[in-house]
Amino acid sequence: MTVNALLLTAGFAACALLGLPFALSIGIVVALVLIVSDIEPAFLAQQFVAGSQQYSLIAIPLFMLAGELMSAGGMSQRLVNVASVLVRHRTGGLAMVAVLAALIFSSISGSAPATTAAIGAILIPAMANAGYDKAFAASIAVSAGVLGPLIPPSIAFVIWGTIAEQSVGRLFLSGIVPGLCIAFGLLIVCYVHAKRNGVPKQEKASWTETGNAFLEGKWALLSPVIVLGGIYGGVFTPTEAAGISCVYAAIIGLLVERRLKLRELFPVTLRAARTSAVVTAIVAVSTGYGVLIAQEHIATDLAAWLASHVHEKWIMLAGLNIAFFLLAAVMDELAILVILGPMLIAIGTKFGVDPIHLGAIIVTNVAIGMAAPPIGYCLFVGMAISGLSLGRIARAIWPQILVMLVVLFLTTYIPQFALILQPGK
């Protein structure tokens, strides 16, 4: 292994483990390679520019902003109300409300932690009041958050589409079946938990209440129709859909429902800018990293080495999933996606995995990593909202993680899971 290859792999790991932010760790190893190899330093700045000039990535701040605008305008509360009148009277009903509301919210927002935050802030306290174990309530909000990146639109798919040069619209479609399966599995977990622990049922909503919930929630419910209908009706690209959903949320919040105040726009946009910068900085910085990885043939060498040692595609896919799951225990999932992207693509090509199918496997892994202990975006949001320790949520969340792993297994070995909704397949 050359010094450069060592810096790019072990050097990055050392920086990240020392506690340097991921975006900086990537930038630092690129700078070190430039210094060690006596390459023109302007390369770093040039790659920063190249990395931040990718049009598809513009969808990231816009989807974040749309989610923030909708939460600030009270749309998430109204989505919860709609879900509530539909399923709250069933066994485990209030927990099912969280799953259903997360499912609807996911078709507006592309972010897992935003989904957990929107649903959890309302439903964790409500579930605890209704007799659910608070740790279970938090764990349901955390695990329902993973629907964010799987149900379109999805920030994780936007990033993967940019790295792998695949159609973001087609990638979005590949996450729907895995996402719905996870949602279904979570509903079963809710039912079993409530049955076992004798959680009291909620009162069934009257027709008037149901009508009112739908009437109040109509603008929120129309939003996924505009976003998804717009993308798949060929009206606009995913990036434009993100912009349109911001405009829609702002108009509804400011002018139609008037629950959003003008003075809130600055803090709301700043919040979206912060969460977006966390992600886009990593992606932008990694462009230079990717060039150096390619120059050192690290990705292709690794894929060739794997192909000479692992002969079965199914073993390779199993290894890939296990490696991702273990890495996600110590590292940010989106950073893994970006750092390992070139290697994952090289491996996928070598073993003949359909690139859209590979995207679905990877993003399902990303989604699981966001909820699985010990670290994950959704988990942190769940801890912050509920005030519970990691240990308590971790003990409550394992059945949900199991559900997700089953869906990951199915997505990995039954390509139709990802490909059935693809046009022309």
Partner 1 sequence: MLSAARRLAGRLVELVAMLLRASIVMAIAILLACVAYQVLMRYVFSKSPPWSEELALLMFSWATLGGMALGVYEGFHVRVDLLIDWLSADMKGWAERIIGVVTAAFGAYLAWSGWRFVDVTSGSVSAAIGYPIEYLHSLPPVCGALMFVFAIWRLIAGPPASATTESAT
Largest CA distance in the chain: 73
97 versus 228: smaller Cβ distance to partner 1: 228
Nearest to 416 by CA among 174, 157, 78: 174
Rounded Cα distance between 235 and 47, Å, is 33
Length of the chain: 425
Minimum CB separation of residue 31 from partner 1 in Å reads 5
Rounded Cα distance between 272 and 243, Å, is 13
Minimum CB separation of residue 175 from partner 1 in Å reads 20
User: Six-digit token pair at 412?
Assistant: 């990995």
Residues that bind partner 1 (CB under 8 A): 15-24, 27-28, 31, 34, 40-46, 48-49, 52-53, 55, 57-58, 61-62, 65, 113, 235-236, 239-240, 242-244, 246-247, 266, 269-270, 272-278, 280-282, 284-285, 330-332, 335, 374-375, 377, 380-381, 384
143 versus 280: smaller Cβ distance to partner 1: 280
Minimum CB separation of residue 15 from partner 1 in Å reads 8
Minimum CB separation of residue 137 from partner 1 in Å reads 19
Minimum CB separation of residue 386 from partner 1 in Å reads 13
Runs of H (alpha helix) within 198-297: 207-216, 218-232, 238-251, 265-295
243 versus 399: smaller Cβ distance to partner 1: 243
Rounded Cα distance between 72 and 384, Å, is 18
191 versus 380: smaller Cβ distance to partner 1: 380
Rounded Cα distance between 52 and 61, Å, is 12
Minimum CB separation of residue 68 from partner 1 in Å reads 11
111 versus 400: smaller Cβ distance to partner 1: 111
How far, rounded to the nearest angstrom, does the alpha carbon of residue 396 sit from its chain's CA centroid? Answer: 21
16 versus 181: smaller Cβ distance to partner 1: 16
Minimum CB separation of residue 79 from partner 1 in Å reads 21
60: Cβ–Cβ under 8 A, 6 or more apart, which residues?
A: 155, 158, 159, 276, 279, 280
Instruction: Quickly count helices (H) and strands (E) in the chain.
Output: 24, 0
37 versus 53: smaller Cβ distance to partner 1: 53
Minimum CB separation of residue 288 from partner 1 in Å reads 10
CA distances 347 to 35, 322, 334, 351, 353, Å, are: 30, 15, 19, 6, 9
Rounded to 5, what percent of the chain is helix, strand, coil?
80, 0, 20
197 versus 389: smaller Cβ distance to partner 1: 389
